[in-house]
Amino acid sequence: MDGTQSPSVSVLFVCMGNICRSPTAEGVFKRLVEEAGLDGQVFVDSAGTHDYHVGSPPDRRAQAAAARRGYDLSALRARKLGLEDVRRFDYVLVMDRGNLNRAHSIGGGFADNIRLLMDFAPHRREREVPDPYAGGPEGFEYVLDLIEDACRGLLEDVKRRLAGEGAPAD
């Protein structure tokens, strides 16, 4: 793909404030996309369902946990999810059911692309990525474990989509 073309697939990760889980997922998935040689074909971003932290960098504990695994989240800044995001992104992947409901409310009639990130890790018992904000460092490590697993499954789904096998798998 040359630099004048738009990415073929767009992925948006969503949590509540866009400072812990969704920027972590953004960082993890960007690296997987780059390693797969798909960075020119896949656009990755993150947002929050609330505007508590707009303009703020990811939580320092999220950044530290990510850095220990080689992910750099320092350039990311929180933003709020909007209707235009739900319309524009192919995948709007939410961390938990509460934010799934909020994202559906924001998306109105354009919400068929919104789903839980953990849908892409069917081998895992967990269906939600818990919010580590109020806990200690071990919560951020656990979140990374879940996100890495789900993002690997997501990458396979994105590859199928890019190969022309249609919309995201259900």
**Catalytically annotated residues:** 15, 21, 131
CA atoms of 78 and 126, how far apart (whole Å)? 26
Pairing mode, if any, of strands 91-94 and 42-48?
Answer: unpaired
* Nearest alpha-carbon partner for 130 in 157, 101, 99, 102: 99
The two structure tokens encoding residue 121? 């890790």
Residues whose CB falls within 8 Å of the CB of residue 21, separated by 6 or more in sequence, listed in order: 13, 15, 62, 95, 129, 131, 132, 143, 147
3-class DSSP assignment, residue 33: helix
